[in-house]
A = this chain, B = another copy of it.
Amino acid sequence: MKTRDRILDTSLRLFNEEGEAHTTTIDIAGELDISPGNLYYHFKGKDQIIAELFEQFQLALGQTLNAPLEQPLHEDRGRVEDNWYYLYVVLEELYQYRFLYHNMDDLLRRYPKLARGFRRIVGQKRAALAAIIDSVVSDEGPTLPRVQQQVLVENMALQLTYWLSYDRLLHEERDAQMTIHQGVLQLLTMLAPYLGEEQMDFYRECEAIYDAMLKAPAE
């Protein structure tokens, strides 16, 4: 593996684990057993490392978020389990680059160019979530007026953006799978009022698992 890539990988790990603001170029070099000078040979500085990590993130997440819009929809339109899996994957990708959301304000002040990217991502989230909502809303159940649909999309986009931060605030160091699992359930619960009876079966299974998790003694 090239040194340049190792720097990116290690930076990402340290930023996620120790916080971006708290991680210096010397920390990164130290972790890799290379000299700071060497690091600066490969990157102009921390800015460039962050910019490249952000591009990786934007590319990966953008593809995932656009997938359900481009692919022809499943025969069995609106299966909750498909959406469950889909949201799980999205949250996994967000988790990999979670440092980007943990100090956003400072990050955006230092690298204002990122703002556009973050907004684009929110836009992609909105589109994906709107598609999920429309596919899943039952024809029988309560109707979902246009404005309420928009507000619901916004609430879900917010939840998708900050769930990992919120969970971290409350639990500090928690198992990633558990965090993500709960995040998906939180999102699906926003849809619960609009699910048809058949769709509710799968939802209730997820809920049961979560309920068991809540009661389990393990944190």
Q: Which of A's residues lie within 8 Å of B, judged by CB?
A: 19, 21-22, 102-106, 108-109, 115, 118-119, 122, 142, 147-148, 150-152, 154-155, 157-159, 161-163, 165-166, 168-170, 172, 185-186, 189-190, 192-194, 207, 210-211, 214
CB distance from A146 to the nearest CB of B (A): 9
Contact A155–B190 (Cβ < 8 Å):
yes
Contact A119–B170 (Cβ < 8 Å):
yes
List of B residues within 8 angstroms of A151 by Cβ: 185-186, 189, 210
Closest to A150 in B: B214
List of B residues within 8 angstroms of A142 by Cβ: 142, 193
Q: In the complex, A127 Cα to B122 Cα: how many Å? A: 30
List of B residues within 8 angstroms of A152 by Cβ: 189
